[in-house]
Structure 1
């Protein structure tokens, strides 16, 4: 179903909050050895005052190169403007644990994850993170991917099974239109290169009506849910936000634009929270 939302100020627990700068400690850094003998790290943060055990953990997959460069305190040194990185405090305030996943050590160059985002081996590595979190928290684990990170999230949800599989999937500003004929072939990749028909978990797809990034046209979101076989799914088109015109060209694909729900992060986080808890956005 599609809901066009004109979002104003919401006064729920999460919606009246705004993203804040990362504190001195952004999470516990957990390191996992991959089958490729590289290492993959994620920053795990429980909600304030909570203890591991039950609840829901959101695995957050940033866009771009995917290399957030976590420091020893679990704080991202790169991609700080990414909508999911900015929204960690909002998700924590809503009662969710979060896990910001960095690129593995063998994919931290200029291209970062690049074409590896659609690779089954990438899904398997994300499955290691999911299984580790499920054992750590004894709760549900959802995967949330934004922009190019949505490719990684859909890869995991469409290929994994058992304890390594996510309990649900959220895609925001998903990369749905690649650039064929580009100098780097992986630029042509999109979520449609994955076996979306194998996605059976609850699926939420969110985009912004003013997103002018050529890679994430909101008009294609219905095609994603049409291919998936989720028992519960929803497409949401967000509207509103800053009055100034969105940027043009590739600048429109940056985080602090409608593509990244700038100035509407709290409302979007609140909608995601409602869907994860079994309601609608």
Structure 2
């Protein structure tokens, strides 16, 4: 690993860790609904440092099976790298959609709703009872709307100890048929986020929704006393033009080829708390 001008570069990327999916559990959420999640612990012999709530992008519908394995969004950065966080000592909670958002659009506009932030806060509080150590929330792509939601609104035991916004959703669609596609992290009360916050993105991210040039504006709006912006470079070469097609996980948007280096950077920030 070497650092240069605020960028993180990796000389080599080790293979991703392979681990069991974990325990499928549910918590009671808004209006009598249930929200499934898959909790996996670090391997025996690995010191537990805390827990991370992993919020995937897209529609957020992981379709967790009875063994806690995601049947959808397997290409998402956080789904692919959950084992690397466990290798670093963090229990991982992969979060699925609540029972009333399992349709075609998944979470859709609910990501920015106060009830969604409250639901995620309940999960944070639950993890405090189940795992020793701090609980961080990490969102990637459209999942950063969810992460910003809980980090800006939750209080007490429901508030995360820190938040990571990866390939943040900073540019919405205006005039679309589905109004929720206009949502971005800037729709949340970002100045209310007081916990440590990391904004991380890839310099060659060509996803129309997460322009790297907007990262400084996002960092500036966060109310955190300890906050940092990190730009990742290297890995797979950018492909084509800036577009929605570039928002898929196995691309610079999802740090393909730089997974281990990116997780290492996130873990370093969390442990510096």
State TM-score, norm by structure 1.
Answer: 0.91
* Match in the other structure for 2:249: 255
Unaligned runs of 5+ in 1: 11-15
Runs in 1 of length 4+ with deviation above 4 angstroms?
A: none
Per the alignment, residue 211 of structure 1 pairs with 205
Match of 2:93 among 99, 109, 125: 99
1:199 alignment counterpart = 193
Question: How far 1:73 sits from its partner (Å)?
Answer: 1.2
Deviation at 1:18, TM superposition (A): 2.4
Q: CA deviation at 1:51?
A: 8.7
Matched, 1:43 2:38: yes
Segment of structure 1 superposing worse, 135-144 or 244-253: 244-253
Work out whether 1:33 is the aligned partner of 2:21: no
- Taking a change above 3 Å as real, the CA distance of residues 183 and 196 of structure 1, as seen in their structure-2 partners, is same
Output the aligned Cα RMSD.
Answer: 1.8
Shift of 1:105: 1.1
Number of the residue aligned with 1:71 = 65
- In structure 1, the residue matched to 2:266 is 272
Equivalent position to 2:225, from 219, 224, 231 = 231
Aligned residue pair count: 270
Deviations 1:230-273 (A, max 9, x none): 11110011111123635652210000010000010000000001
Which of residues 173, 182, 186 is equivalent to 2:167?
173
In 1, are the aligned partners of 2:237 and 2:252 still within 8 Å (CA)?
Answer: no
User: Following TM superposition, by how much is the alpha carbon of 1:139 offset from its aligned partner in structure 2, in angstroms?
Assistant: 2.0
SS in 1 for 2:181: helix
Alpha-carbon distance between aligned partners in 2 of 1:204 and 1:8, rounded to the nearest angstrom: 19
Q: Distance in 1 between matches of 2:179 and 2:191?
A: 24
CA distance in 1, matches of 2:49, 2:252: 30
1:8 maps to which residue? Answer: 10
How far residue 20 of structure 1 moved from its aligned partner, in angstroms, is 4.6
Query: How many angstroms apart in 1 are the aligned matches of 2:237 and 2:109?
Result: 36
Cα 1:246/1:141, change in 2 over 3 Å: farther
Output the CA distance in 1 between the equivalents of 2:207 and 2:201: 11
**Post-superposition offset of 1:38:** 1.2
CA distance, structure 1, for counterparts of residue 93 and residue 153 of structure 2 = 20
Alignment partner of 1:19 out of 16, 21, 42: 16
Per the normalisation by structure 2, the TM-score is 0.94
Whole-Å Cα distance in 2 between the matches of residues 170 and 246 of structure 1?
Answer: 28
Q: Which runs of no fewer than 5 residues in structure 2 stay unpaired?
A: none
